[in-house]
Structure 1
Amino acid sequence: MVHIRFEGHSVDVGETQLGITASMNDVAIKERVARHLDVNSDRLGAYIVDRRPGGDLIVRPEAVYG
């Protein structure tokens, strides 16, 4: 499962629906997510791809604390 947080919205999408495989790097994953969201991939440039121990992915903005 890929959990996407983008501009205040959250959505869960299956890896197969996005065409994501475990061997893909962060850039390729963000390109697939951008295509799914119908936005330019540069809008996800500062986003983080968080790989969870169970195999799920979270694509989210970088957290800024303080």
Structure 2
Amino acid sequence: MVHIRFEGRSYDIPENQLGIQVGMRDSVVKERIAQYFEVGRDRLTDYVIDRRPSGDLIIRPEAVYG
């Protein structure tokens, strides 16, 4: 499962619906997500990909504190 936090909303999307496979580079994952949301890849530049031990991915904006 891929959990995405994008523009203030949360989405849970199966990997196969996004065309994401285990071991894909972050840049490819972001490209697939940008295609899914029909936005430019640059919109995800500051997003972080957290790979969970379960195999799930969490894609979210980078947290900025301070």
* TM-score interval, smaller chain: over 0.9
Give the secondary-structure state (helix, strand or coil) at the position aligned to 1:23.
coil
- Structure 1 stretches lacking a partner, 5+ long: none
After TM superposition, where is structure 1 displaced by more than 4 Å over at least 4 residues in a row? none
Question: What is aligned with 1:40?
Answer: 40
In structure 2, the residue corresponding to 1:17 is in which secondary structure? helix
CA distance in 2, matches of 1:47, 1:31: 12
Shift in Å, 1:65: 1.6
Taking only aligned residues, the RMSD between alpha carbons, in angstroms, comes to 0.6
Provide the rounded CA distance (Å) in 2 between the counterparts of 1:25 and 1:46: 15
1:55 aligns with 55
Which residue number corresponds to residue 65 of structure 1? Answer: 65
TM-score, length-scaled by structure 1: 0.96
Q: Confirm whether residue 30 of structure 1 aligns to residue 30 of structure 2.
A: yes
For residues 52 and 11 of structure 2, what CA distance do their matches in structure 1 show? 16
Q: Distance in 2 between matches of 1:33 and 1:46?
A: 13
* Structure 1 residue 23 displacement after superposition: 1.6
Number of residues of Structure 1 aligned to a counterpart in Structure 2 = 66
- Per the alignment, residue 8 of structure 2 pairs with 8
Identity %, equivalent residues: 62
